[in-house]
Structure 1
Amino acid sequence: MITINQLSKVFQTNNASITAVDKLDLSINNGEIFGVIGYSGAGKSTFIRLINRLEEPSSGEVTIDDQTITALSKKQLRLSRQEIGMIFQHFNLLWSRTVRQNISFPLEIAGVAKAEREERVDELIRLVGLSGREDAYPSQLSGGQKQRVGIARALANRPKVLLCDEATSALDPETTDAILSLLVDINKQLGLTIILITHEMHVIQKICHRVAVMEQGAVVEEGNVVDVFSHPKQSVTKKFVEQVMGKPEEQATDETFMHHVEQGKVLRLHFVGETANQAVISQVAKQFKVDLNILHGNVKQTQAGAYGTLYVQITGEEVEITKAIDHIKSIAVEVEVKGHA
């Protein structure tokens, strides 16, 4: 368990004090992938560097497995950092070293014997999919391969926690997906806790179990990814959700298609979890004397389950429509009547 209590960072300039992280509280479970999302200037990069004290906090505490990181001496911190791996947006590789030598570097610093180092490096090269590239230099690698080296290096000392500072921001979409899939595999195989900061909701959607939304140095919304995606509360969260879901549903349900419906009712069906994968529409059409016409829909998959929204036109006798709506509600689908034709 990682517990962050009233964590703050204030930068002093000649003219003013700038609060980058403001009394932040979070709890992160062992073995989960926890996302932190925010726009530039939200404080998320400062926050992740406070966890391993690459930035010294102005106040507050960071505790990992009952060890208070913020109370450690410099010598104790050096040892503790071996259990906290970190990967960066721009890879931070040693350009004069090969793939093998880059991955081996933290093991050399830790004083690991040569034979053990070589065995561990070989294991990590296989894990991150770099077999055959061991003797290449960073200048000979693609962006995705460089980040794989960064991930392998971060895992060298068998850390408990992996911090990812905008780890995919410098990569193209296809390479981003490959790196995110690798992080999911590592999380499952090693049981590693991963804290990932990003400004891209696609990244959160693809791999995170829970998410915190940061704005002006504070967490303004937090929760299970499916819950936050399906019911965003803060305006900044709604903007992020638009990145993967399109325009807000209020815009999608007005004159965009309502004027094309001449009879019946328009229903908004909201699916979360297992119901998003059920054949609800066909079930209702078979069981009740109603006709259903899909007008608009969007269903997305996340690590924590599926969620989505579907707009349908339903026509038939009023009593049959009522029965159909009651049935849909009974299988844990939210139903809202958006309009009558």
Structure 2
Amino acid sequence: MISIQQLSKVFKTNTTTIQAVDDLNLRIDKGEIFGVIGYSGAGKSTFIRLINRLEEPTAGDVIIDGQEITALSKNQLRLSRQEIGMIFQHFNLLWSRTVRENIALPLEIAGVSKEERISRVDELIRLVGLAGREDAYPSQLSGGQKQRVGIARALANKPKVLLCDEATSALDPETTDSILSLLVDINEKLGLTIILITHEMHVIQKICHRVAVMEGGKIVEQGEVVDVFSHPDKAVTKKFVEQVMGKPDKDITEEAFVQSVESGKVLRLHFVGETANQAIISQVAKKFDVEINIIQGNVKQTQSGAYGSLFVHVTGEETELEQAINYITSTSVEVEVKTDA
């Protein structure tokens, strides 16, 4: 669906040169929700603006559904952008226009007849949950309602791709969840390909199928969300995962804690996918003569499955302990011995 090849963007001033996007290669499949995450300055917002040429690339190609966006003339690009919707962090609504008039604007620009505009706008208002607010002005709307207007406006011309640039960053957590649920609903109902830029890992966790991590203008890690979350490789990715999983307590691996464990083993159990839904602890307690105490843990759901970690203290005879660990490992749960008294 979307192929990005050796994409680069360099900003130059009289005194400095900034490589905002550096030789970026990426493929995004039709109908998926693809997340791009990075801290401020990573290049993610520049990257998303390169896709529809709100920023002109210094080098590289962007190909959407077989059409090379980077090779289009200005007139061709204007038509092509009708198939690429975009929503923004700060909504970018026209404050002198009502909800209905804001949503209708792209249709007016595209030369759609008044009758068709009215029908399409009514359809979109129902889709994004704004029935009854059609004649309100942006100043009369909450942040979540404003973003719903922005989403409806972006969908007006029935795009193939929806670009979301920090679309929930200005919203409170509850409103963020409602907007993310709306995006999932739109993705499922319309089969729309969504590219979502964010610096918040819980946004990626909640709705994305795959994710790319950006740092210094480059993609440093990418893959299925559940895989990247469960096995983060780069330091920057590990920091993002800690946003939703939290850090294990330091004393679990500190010498003082090790010395305080008089018997047994402290294990870190790592769950991915279906294993996160299994009652491993109760199964082990029933099958083997061991006692298990949960120290701490966390399991999260993603679009492609659950993942998480659990720290447990297991005591019993050495033979029983080894059999219990072997049994846990046989269920595809990864086991790491943190302390061994």
Q: TM-score by structure 1 length? A: 0.97
Hey, what does 2:270 align to over in structure 1?
Answer: 270
Hey, what does 1:174 align to over in structure 2?
Answer: 174
Q: How many residues align?
A: 341
Are the structure 2 counterparts of residues 252 and 177 from structure 1 closer, same or farther at C-alpha, using a change threshold of 3 Å?
Answer: farther
Percent of paired sites with the same residue: 79
Structure 1 residue 321, shift from structure 2 partner: 1.4
Mapping of residues 100-119 of structure 1, within 5 Å? 100-119=100-119
Q: CA deviation digits over 1:205-232, x for unaligned, max 9?
A: 1111111111111111111111111111
Structure 1 residue 135, shift from structure 2 partner: 0.3
Hey, what does 1:127 align to over in structure 2?
Answer: 127
Q: Distance in 2 between matches of 1:307 and 1:36?
A: 20
Q: Distance in 2 between matches of 1:247 and 1:33?
A: 27
CA contact (8 A) 2:253 2:339 kept: no
Q: Distance in 1 between matches of 2:27 and 2:41?
A: 22
Hey, what does 1:244 align to over in structure 2?
Answer: 244
Q: CA deviation digits over 1:66-120, x for unaligned, max 9?
A: 1110011111111110110000000000111100010011011111111111111
Letter in 1 for 2:39: Y
Q: CA deviation digits over 1:109-162, x for unaligned, max 9?
A: 111111111111111101111010000000000000000000000001111100
Structure 1 residue 305, shift from structure 2 partner: 1.0
SS in 2 for 1:40: coil
Structure 1 residue 304, shift from structure 2 partner: 1.5
Hey, what does 2:18 align to over in structure 1?
Answer: 18
Hey, what does 2:195 align to over in structure 1?
Answer: 195
Letter in 1 for 2:150: G
Hey, what does 2:76 align to over in structure 1?
Answer: 76
Structure 1 residue 249, shift from structure 2 partner: 7.0
SS in 2 for 1:240: helix
Letter in 1 for 2:272: V
Hey, what does 1:51 align to over in structure 2?
Answer: 51
Greater mean alpha carbon deviation, residues 79-88 or residues 242-251 = 242-251
Q: Structure 2: which 5+ runs fail to align?
A: none
CA contact (8 A) 1:257 1:295 kept: no
SS in 1 for 2:266: strand
Are the structure 2 counterparts of residues 59 and 257 from structure 1 closer, same or farther at C-alpha, using a change threshold of 3 Å?
Answer: same
Q: Distance in 2 between matches of 1:263 and 1:132?
A: 65
Hey, what does 2:225 align to over in structure 1?
Answer: 225
Q: Distance in 2 between matches of 1:152 and 1:260?
A: 59
CA contact (8 A) 1:242 1:248 kept: no
Q: TM-score by structure 2 length? A: 0.97
Hey, what does 2:215 align to over in structure 1?
Answer: 215
The root-mean-square deviation of aligned C-alpha atoms, in Å, is 1.3
Q: Distance in 1 between matches of 2:177 and 2:4?
A: 29
Q: Distance in 2 between matches of 1:100 and 1:243?
A: 38
Greater mean alpha carbon deviation, residues 251-260 or residues 275-284 = 251-260
Q: Distance in 2 between matches of 1:295 and 1:288?
A: 20
Letter in 2 for 1:20: A
Mapping of residues 150-169 of structure 1, within 5 Å? 150-169=150-169
Q: Distance in 2 between matches of 1:298 and 1:256?
A: 24
Structure 1 residue 259, shift from structure 2 partner: 4.8
Letter in 2 for 1:337: V
Q: Distance in 2 between matches of 1:91 and 1:24?
A: 28
Hey, what does 2:304 align to over in structure 1?
Answer: 304
Letter in 2 for 1:319: T
Hey, what does 2:41 align to over in structure 1?
Answer: 41
Q: Distance in 2 between matches of 1:252 and 1:96?
A: 58
SS in 2 for 1:307: strand
Hey, what does 2:327 align to over in structure 1?
Answer: 327
CA contact (8 A) 2:268 2:311 kept: yes
SS in 2 for 1:134: coil
Structure 1 residue 257, shift from structure 2 partner: 5.0
Letter in 1 for 2:153: R
Structure 1 residue 17, shift from structure 2 partner: 1.8
Q: Distance in 1 between matches of 2:173 and 2:256?
A: 30
Greater mean alpha carbon deviation, residues 148-157 or residues 243-252 = 243-252
